[in-house]
Amino acid sequence: MQILDGKQTSSTIQDEIAAEVAAIRSAGGKIPHLAAILVGNNPASEAYVRNKVKDCERVGFGSSLFRFDETISEEALLDKIREVNENAEIDGLIVQLPLPAHISAEKVTETLAPEKDVDGFHPVNVGRMAKNLPAYLPATPYGILELLKRYPIETSGKHCVVLGRSHIVGSPMSILMARNDNPGNCTVTLCHSRTKDLKAQTLQADILIAALGIPEFVKADMVKEGAVVIDVGITRVEDASKKSGFALRGDVAYDEVAPRCSWITPVPGGVGPMTRAALLLNTLDAAKRSFY
């Protein structure tokens, strides 16, 4: 069994981006700038946004964080997004999810200018992705593709089973792994809460991508010998032995599953850092006007 080291790979990507920013700077070009909108004070969301800002600093990007109380009206939030759309200094914008119940995530997503939608959530970017046109890819699937590409893991002709059909991970992941591209060219099965005999499906997987958000759901008897296992889960569980008071748990029961795998991502240090690196790659493409 070998580890797919997302932390190391993400650090390499950050170094590559930093070198490109330095070159842009000396050529007098536009320094990439990412803006994040955070509504309320969900601790996980605060941590994600803090890390995104920190990552920008590390590679030399500019960044802006706009914070709002959870009582902000939907219209006021949409106005802020329209303002950022018009701000030529800002190349990419993310609105951290989840949002309070009185705000429609769909309206928020569709108000973002597609050319600044570095999360890849706008229907225009989702459609472009599905057609294999140049587009921002959602950060977690994009990060997983980069990880597979850089090791490299052969995906062509393999059976990829994706667990979870979220719009952020499972659904786009299933589309991307089936595309005629590298990584890609998989036969894909997308499983979800209504799937019957899940184990019969997961045992077929050469590549198993777990993105359901249920800690340690994938057990050893669900995994084929020699499979590549990608664990997207990062559920916070209380852990008094940790200084922070919590630990992160993946969707895979790592200790029992790892010995069966050819490759596996750890939690933490697997998919999480790759998601962060992918957002930086998208922001760089936004500044370079790569797709629009």
Return the active site residues: 52, 96, 119
Nearest partner of 277 among 6, 3, 35, judged by Cα: 6
Does position 234 bind ligand GUN by CB under 6 A? no
Does position 95 bind ligand GUN by CB under 6 A? yes
With beta carbons less than 8 A apart as the criterion, state whether 188 and 162 touch: yes
Tell whether 168 is in a known binding site.
no
158 vs 270 by CB, closer to ligand GUN:
270
Quote the radius of gyration of the chain (alpha carbons, Å).
19
Residue nearest to ligand GUN (CB): 97
The b/e string for 204-216 (b: 16+ C-beta within 10 A; e otherwise) is ebbbbbbbbbebb
Q: Which segments of 151-196 does DSSP mark as H helices, in order? A: 170-178
Does position 212 bind ligand GUN by CB under 6 A? no
Tell whether 290 is in a known binding site.
no
Does position 119 bind ligand GUN by CB under 6 A? yes
Number of helical (H) and strand (E) elements in the chain, helices listed first: 10, 11
Binding region for ligand GUN (CB under 6 A) out of 95-103, 187-195, 207-215, 236-244: 95-103
Does position 63 bind ligand GUN by CB under 6 A? no
Tell whether 150 is in a known binding site.
no
The b/e string for 263-281 (b: 16+ C-beta within 10 A; e otherwise) is bbbbbebbbbbbbbbbbbb
Q: Which of 97, 153, 178, 198 binds ligand GUN (CB under 6 A)?
A: 97
Taken as a whole, the chain contains a residue count of 292
Tell whether 120 is in a known binding site.
no
Does position 139 bind ligand GUN by CB under 6 A? yes
Task: Copy the structure tokens of residue 270.
Answer: 């697997």
Does position 168 bind ligand GUN by CB under 6 A? yes
Does position 96 bind ligand GUN by CB under 6 A? yes
What residues form the annotated binding site for NADP(+)? 164-166, 234
Chain residues in the site for ligand GUN (CB under 6 A):
94-97, 119, 139, 168
